[in-house]
Amino acid sequence: MICAAGLGSRLGLDTPKCLVPIGKHKLIYYLLELIKDIPNVRIVVGFKEEEVIKYVRSIRDDVVFIRNSNYSSTTNAYSLHLGTKDLKEPFLTIDGDMILDPTSFKSLLTKCVPGEDLIVITEAKTEDAVFVKLNDKKEVVEFSREPFSKYEWSGVGYLSNIKIDKDGQYVYQVIEKYLPIKSAELTCWEIDTPQDLNNTLNYLSFI
């Protein structure tokens, strides 16, 4: 489940974040490559949806698209609700503005167990981080904007028992009431701001 409906206004570009050029390809190309062997891929689109659909279909023609017509006034929680409201089985959710390290992602998939929820964390590095607090069992027990913590929520999760409410402000706030939830670490980069984009380009060596 990929949420790619937003405006991406903080980047200052008149293009969906998932279509921002990264190296030789658009951002979402790398994500589609990583999940090419995963069936039943859904992408929620909104802003300039025709461009996103056309590009994705040039890479993979079996993707199901869900339209968030209220993309300009809603958050990822609403997009995720639209994309998963009819699902009965567990699903992996990934924001469409992310670059994931391939080796780290493959390791993550081995930790996704049907019937169990998993919050995916990463070393804190984005400008607008949602920090996580862990207990001794490496379970997430709290989300917060401050104080600074070593880890932040990556925007990735494997959800088996959590239904995303359409009225939720942010996905992490919907998940919060189900804590504690076990965590797994992922090497990844989320691109929300020009600084995030620069940091991503500086760190990536596999593109």
H helix intervals, 5-61:
27-34, 49-57
Range of the domain at 89: 2-203
Query: What percent of the chain shows pLDDT beyond 90?
Result: 72
- Rounded to 10 degrees, the C-alpha dihedral 14/20/24/30 comes to -150
Domain count, the chain: 1
Question: Which pLDDT score, from 0 to 100, does residue 167 have?
Answer: 81
For the whole prediction, is pTM greater than 0.85?
Answer: yes
Say what the alpha-carbon torsion angle 102, 157, 170, 41 is, to the nearest 10 degrees.
70
Task: Please write the tens of the pLDDT for every residue from 1-20.
Answer: 999 998 766 666 788 989 98
What's the pLDDT at 8? 67
Whether residue 191 is predicted with pLDDT greater than 90 in this model: the reply is no
pLDDT of residue 12: 61
pLDDT at 10: 64
C-alpha closest to that of 178 among 187, 167, 165: 165
pLDDT digits (tens, 9 = 90+) for 65-87: 999 999 989 888 999 999 999 99
pLDDT at residue number 58: 97
Conformation bin of residue 188: beta by default, left when phi > 0, alpha when psi is -120 to 50: beta
Any idea what the CATH number is for the domain that residue 145 is in?
A: 3.90.550.10
- Spatial distance between the Cα atoms of 191 and 194, rounded to a whole number of angstroms: 8
Amino acid type, 176: E
Q: Are strands 118-123 and 98-100 parallel, antiparallel or unpaired?
A: unpaired
